[in-house]
Amino acid sequence: MSEAHNEHESLIKTPKQLIAAVIAGFLVPIVIIVLLVNYVGNNALTGAGSSAMTESAIAERIAPVAKVEVKDANAPRVYQTGEQLYKAVCAACHAAGTAGAPKVGSADWAPRIAQGYDGMLKIALAGKGAMPARGGTSPDDVTDYEIGRAIVYMANASGGKLQEPAEPAQPASGAAAAPASSAPAAASGADAGSAAAAAAAMASLKTAAPATASAGGNLDAGKKLYDTVCMACHASGVANAPKFGDKAAWAPRIATGIDTLHNAAIKGLNAMPPKGGAATASDDDVKAAVDYMVNAAK
């Protein structure tokens, strides 16, 4: 009889146990709800209601490919550091020692460092072996001073102790304005026509951007990246790189499809490092450079 009585006896025997049971009855459902909300909220959402449909995401997707950047000709020039230029241009060959280029951080630099800063700068500006003059850069985009800084960066990273070259003096802020101030007063009569022409040019850029993108990318950006980075190997066919404009060399590569070429350029292939060594370049610019070289080989 006592055993039957014990089976029906309540588990809660004291007021403390009752309070604990009541609190648990409230807290446990709340904890479960919070965990479910976090689980659902952390999952990647697609379609309506996802972050892909926010105003900022939509604006980024429909932004025009072409951009117009207006620079003040009188503003002081901002020079690239040696490391920045190395990563953007020089790393294409010097990071891995492609085509006999002295690899950064190795003993290959010892005989070069022995030549001194002036000797290395002279070679870099004139070109040597597979390296084109100025590493393939244009004097309009990269100054001798910036090339010198890149040389010092690579040499010092390879055991050298060279000093940074002195920064060139900036031109006076009024130098560019002087000719304008001495122009004849009659020129002011053409201001309206010049402004109208400038506005028309700006409008044509805005309307032409989508057509350029739909035709296969911004070839202007592709040409710029080729002139500053890709030509270091593709201009002369270094390390079996298909030579620019060589239809026979490019034909089998074009046959694999443009997406395959884009992926190979971005991820790297054989002796070519990812993005051709231009680590700071965007994927779109790399694709544009590929399109530029492909169009030249058709």
Q: What is the pTM of this model?
A: 0.46
Q: Which of 111, 140, 157 is the last residue of a domain?
A: 157
In a domain, 68, yes or no: no
Q: Which of 157, 175, 207 is the last residue of a domain?
A: 157
In a domain, 280, yes or no: yes
Distance CA 99, CA 271 (A): 9
In a domain, 206, yes or no: no
pLDDT of residue 265: 87
Residues of the chain with pLDDT under 70: 1-8, 42-52, 65-73, 171-217
Q: Which of 157, 178, 210 is the last residue of a domain?
A: 157
pLDDT of residue 5: 53
Query: Facing residues of 272 across strands?
Result: 269
> What is the CATH number for 115?
1.10.760.10
pLDDT of residue 127: 85
Total count of domains within the chain: 2
SS3 sequence, 196-220? HHHHHHHHHHHHHHHHHHHCCCCHH
Distance CA 156, CA 105 (A): 9
In a domain, 173, yes or no: no
Q: What is the DSSP string of 79-146?
A: PPPHHHHIIIIIHHHHTTTGGGPPPTTSGGGHHHHHTHHHHHHHHHHH-BTTBPGGGG--TTTS-HHH
In a domain, 197, yes or no: no
In our burial notation (b when 16+ CB lie closer than 10 A, e otherwise), range 131-154 reads: bbebbbbeeeebbebbbbbbbbbb
Nearest Cα to Cα of residue 266 among 296, 246, 287, 243: 287
Domain that holds residue 101: 82-157
pLDDT of residue 156: 92
In a domain, 123, yes or no: yes
Radius of gyration of the chain (CA): 32
pLDDT of residue 60: 80
pLDDT of residue 6: 58
Residues in the chain: 298
pLDDT of residue 179: 46
In a domain, 144, yes or no: yes
Q: How many CB atoms lie within 10 A of CB 51?
A: 10
pLDDT of residue 32: 93
In a domain, 90, yes or no: yes
Q: How far is CA 198 from the centre of its chain?
A: 30
**Which tokens in the block code for residue 246?**
């060589």
pLDDT of residue 39: 81
pLDDT of residue 100: 81
Q: Give the amino acid at 1.
A: M
Per-residue model confidence as pLDDT tens digits over 67-120? 666 666 677 888 899 899 889 888 888 988 887 889 999 998 999 999 888 999
Per-residue model confidence as pLDDT tens digits over 54-69? 778 778 878 776 666 6
Distance CA 146, CA 140 (A): 12
